[in-house]
């Protein structure tokens, strides 16, 4: 289970990890959750498995998902994982049933790990009584926090370097303002950095100052 505020880097971290897994050895079924029913989720998983029409009954759909997974695990000797991003959107009744996907009658080996990523209320949702079977199966939890100020400075330098700028455009107070204004969260920091560079350019300044960041901050959420 991976939790973190909006823009803390959950999806990026998942994509990074998945990108490092060799496709001949690993099969990652990546779905972005919706607030729909569990049938919607099963349909998404089946779609990722290349099965587009498995009917509308949940019994048929779960059987089909399990058959596909058993084929990957035993037939193709692959390691399979389901990754559900935005899992904090899932309805409680989905959590009440989701763990049954990992149960295979013939085999007690837990060969279908599920990674759930979402905002912090994911943890609260799993505290509901109906979700306890799922919650009791969580083996690892990680919370992505905002980065500290020094890392924010490195982050800004990193992005400048990618854009071909080798000079630090942001003065120290601007870095502090971006760090504080974003709470150390990447996406908000991106917006503030971009907005403050535009503000600096508009005032024909070659250095981005805290005033430019403040101007940018009034224009975004």
Ligand X SMILES: Nc1ncnc2c1ncn2[C@@H]1O[C@H](COP(=O)(O)OP(=O)(O)O)[C@@H](O)[C@H]1O
Q: Return residues touching Mg ion (CB under 5 A).
A: 11
Q: Which is nearer to ligand X, 13 or 168 (CB)?
A: 13
* CB 207, min distance to ligand X, A: 23
Tokens of 109: 């080996």
Stretch that binds ligand X, among 2-10, 31-39, 93-101, 103-111 (CB under 6 A): 2-10
Q: Which is nearer to ligand X, 4 or 65 (CB)?
A: 4
Could you tell me which residues come within 8 angstroms of residue 212 by beta carbon, excluding any fewer than 6 positions away? 174, 196, 197, 199, 200, 203, 205
* CB 56, min distance to ligand X, A: 31
SS3 content of the chain, % helix, strand, coil (to 5): 50, 15, 35
Among 11, 34, 130, 180, binds ligand X (CB under 6 A): 11
Distance CA 78, CA 203 (A): 57
CA angle, residues 79, 81, 82, in degrees to nearest 5: 160
- Does 6 sit near ligand X (CB under 6 A)? yes
* CB 57, min distance to ligand X, A: 33
- Does 183 sit near ligand X (CB under 6 A)? no
Among 40, 187, 211, 214, binds ligand X (CB under 6 A): 187
Q: Is the dihedral of CA 38, 44, 47, 48 positive or negative?
A: negative
Q: Which is nearer to Mg ion, 11 or 176 (CB)?
A: 11
- Does 8 sit near ligand X (CB under 6 A)? yes
Q: Is the dihedral of CA 215, 218, 219, 220 positive or negative?
A: positive
List C-alpha distances in Å: 83 to 45, 115, 183: 10, 5, 27
* CB 4, min distance to ligand X, A: 5
**Contact set with ligand X (CB under 6 A):** 4, 6-12, 186-187, 190
């Amino acid at each position: 289970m991976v939790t973190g505020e909006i823009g803390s880097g959950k999806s990026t971290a998942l994509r990074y990890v998945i990108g490092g897994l060799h496709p001949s050895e690993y099969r990652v079924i990546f779905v972005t959750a919706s607030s729909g029913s569990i049938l919607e989720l099963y349909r998404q998983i089946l779609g990722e498995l290349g099965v587009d029409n498995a009917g509308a009954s949940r019994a048929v759909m779960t059987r089909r998902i399990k058959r596909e997974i058993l084929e990957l695990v035993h037939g193709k000797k692959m390691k399979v994982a389901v990754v559900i991003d935005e899992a904090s959107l899932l309805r409680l009744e989905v959590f009440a049933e989701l763990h049954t996907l990992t149960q295979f009658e013939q085999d007690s080996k837990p060969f279908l790990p599920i990674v759930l990523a979402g905002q912090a209320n994911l943890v609260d949702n799993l505290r509901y009584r109906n979700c306890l079977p799922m919650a009791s199966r969580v083996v690892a939890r990680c919370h992505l926090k905002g980065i500290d100020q020094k890392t924010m400075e490195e982050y800004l330098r990193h992005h400048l370097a990618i854009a071909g700028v080798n000079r630090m455009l942001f003065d120290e107070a601007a870095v502090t303002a971006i760090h504080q204004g974003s709470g150390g969260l990447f996406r908000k920091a991106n917006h503030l950095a971009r907005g403050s560079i535009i503000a600096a350019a508009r005032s024909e300044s070659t250095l981005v100052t805290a005033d430019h960041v403040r101007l940018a901050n009034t224009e975004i959420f």
